[in-house]
Amino acid sequence: MNDIGTAHIRHQIEGKTVIRVHYSDTDEPDYFHLIEQEGRFWLGLAFSFDRRITPELAGDIRAMFTDEQEFNTDPEVIRTDLSRNTFLNRYYEPMLMNPATGSVAPMYEWLEDFDVTASELWGGVNFNDAMLVPVIQNGKGGFEHDHS
């Protein structure tokens, strides 16, 4: 079997979807992979770390896929009106704040905490029960609500 076919079979077994993202502010696309294993999701940027994301965020990403695949071995394509930085901040490494404590961390760190925290301490049995809010850096070294 050729290398493309072998890679495609390996991706299917791994639960990996390859994605090419085109941004509004650059002609150079990025390549990501979306991985689903046992109901958990990770988004990885080529040559970088995989970041754990919520099922809702994975669904938002899948909803942006276009119909541009010519063959099933082609990557999924997203054409976004977002700049590269905005896309990365929103989907690859979103920052969340606990409004009760003011603690800010990347989503993947909150998901790790959720996995090891009792539901009574988390505020419920679902990740969203903690009512974390998306934030962005405000340029002054602090964070503010992400209203985008």
Q: Residues 76-102: pLDDT tens digits?
A: 999 999 999 989 989 998 999 999 899
Sign of CA dihedral 6, 8, 14, 20: positive
The arithmetic mean of pLDDT across residues 124-148, rounded, is 83
Measured at the alpha carbon of residue 138, what is the angle toward residues 127 and 26, in degrees to the nearest 5?
Answer: 90
Among the candidates 70, 92, 114, a domain finishes at: 92
Among the candidates 56, 71, 92, a domain finishes at: 92
112: containing domain? 95-145
The confidence score (pLDDT) of residue 13 equals 63
The confidence score (pLDDT) of residue 142 equals 78
Among the candidates 92, 118, 135, a domain finishes at: 92
Separation between Cα atoms, residue 45 and residue 30, nearest integer Å: 7
Sign of CA dihedral 53, 48, 7, 13: negative
What confidence tier does 1 reach under pLDDT thresholds 50, 70, 90? very low
Separation between Cα atoms, residue 134 and residue 41, nearest integer Å: 18
Q: Is the pLDDT of residue 60 over 90?
A: yes
